[in-house]
Amino acid sequence: MTASKAEPTEVECFGNKAQGKRMNKRTFTLVIILLVCVLGLSVATFALAPKVAAFPVLKKPDFSGQAACEVIRVVDGDTILVKTDTGLSKVRLIGVDTPETVHPSKPIERYGKEASLFLTNLLKGEQVYLLYEGEKATTDKYSRLLAYVYRAPDGLFANVEIIRQGYGYAYTRFPFKYKTEFRQLEQFAKQAKKGLWESKARAVKSKKLPD
């Protein structure tokens, strides 16, 4: 005759329930600890990440009453020749420096031709507005007008476009009113590996390749 299975006593049932509760509580505690660790890691990563400034937006000037000049020739990536009421003048774009292509004592630098072509496509044959750092025009040691160059009639800011698209650097050796914004534009172009920044990255990578 087969013996019937003994039913668990009330004490055993209570013990099993208590053990289950302890296991559930332990599991819940482990989940909370894991979530806290993940959250803490995310906060630490965010805190250590480099702070990226908001993309600078420069207000377009009012060109009412401003006479436009004709661009006769693009000399290089940061210099143009324009025709004004007083004749031909070379204009050096303020706050911008592009790789050399026409320097009398320097070789053509990497990405210099691309920078010159970019500005040629942007301005050759166009009308431009010239605005200056102060109320009056100033010149550099090569007798070039120093100016902010805006394409007419759409007001495209050529100085900004060169840096934003990665065809030149922010030239901050001397103070000018858009110094901070131009630096920010350079950082955005660098992070996006635009233009010469992409070219530099490829050059560094090719140097690291084994022979």
29-42 pLDDT, tens digit per residue, is 777 787 766 666 65
Three-state secondary structure call for residue 111: coil
Residue 35's pLDDT is 73
Give CA–CA dist 152/146, Å, rounded: 18
What's the whole-number mean pLDDT along residues 120-147? Answer: 95
Q: Is the pLDDT of residue 47 over 80?
A: no
Q: Which of 92, 161, 164, 181 is catalytic?
A: 92
Residue 209's pLDDT is 43
Q: What is the residue type of 207?
A: K
Q: Which of 100, 126, 161, 186 is catalytic?
A: 100
What percent of the chain lies above the pLDDT cut of 90? 58
Q: Are strands 79-84 and 138-139 parallel, antiparallel or unpaired?
A: unpaired
Give CA–CA dist 93/81, Å, rounded: 11
Count CB neighbours of 142 within 10 A. 8
Residue 166's pLDDT is 96
Are residues 72 and 82 in contact, defined by beta-carbon separation less than 8 angstroms? Answer: yes
Distances (CA, A) of 36 to 14, 27, 40, 189: 33, 14, 6, 37
Q: Which CATH number fits domain 69-197: 3.30.9.60, 3.10.310.30, 3.40.1400.10, 2.40.50.90?
A: 2.40.50.90
What's the whole-number mean pLDDT along residues 118-128? Answer: 96
Q: Is 181 a catalytic residue?
A: no
Give CA–CA dist 81/76, Å, rounded: 10
Q: Are strands 79-84 and 87-93 parallel, antiparallel or unpaired?
A: antiparallel
Name the β-bridge partners of 89: 82
The residue assigned the tokens 């004749």 is 87
Q: Is the pLDDT of residue 63 over 50?
A: yes
Q: How far apart are the first and last CA of the chain?
A: 87
Q: Is the pLDDT of residue 150 over 50?
A: yes
Cis check for the bond before 153: say yes or no (omega within 30 of 0): yes
Q: Is the pLDDT of residue 60 over 70?
A: yes
Are residues 99 and 175 in contact, defined by beta-carbon separation less than 8 angstroms? Answer: no
Q: Is the pLDDT of residue 61 over 70?
A: yes
Q: Which of 73, 110, 126, 144 is catalytic?
A: 144
Q: Is 26 a catalytic residue?
A: no
Q: Is the pLDDT of residue 210 over 60?
A: no
Count CB neighbours of 84 within 10 A. 14
Residue 90's pLDDT is 97
What's the whole-number mean pLDDT along residues 108-124? Answer: 94
In this prediction, residue 16 has a pLDDT band, given cuts at 50, 70 and 90, of: low
Query: Picking from 93-102, 140-149, 156-165, 191-200, which range would have the lowest pLDDT averaged per residue?
Result: 191-200
Q: Where are the beta strands (DSSP E) in 94-133?
A: 96-97, 127-131
Give CA–CA dist 163/157, Å, rounded: 11
Q: Is the pLDDT of residue 24 over 50?
A: yes
Query: Picking from 27-36, 41-50, 61-70, which range would have the lowest pLDDT averaged per residue?
Result: 41-50
In this prediction, residue 57 has a pLDDT band, given cuts at 50, 70 and 90, of: confident
The pair of structure tokens assigned to 122 is 């942007």
Tens-digit pLDDT profile for residues 171-194:
999 999 999 999 999 999 999 999
Q: Is 144 a catalytic residue?
A: yes
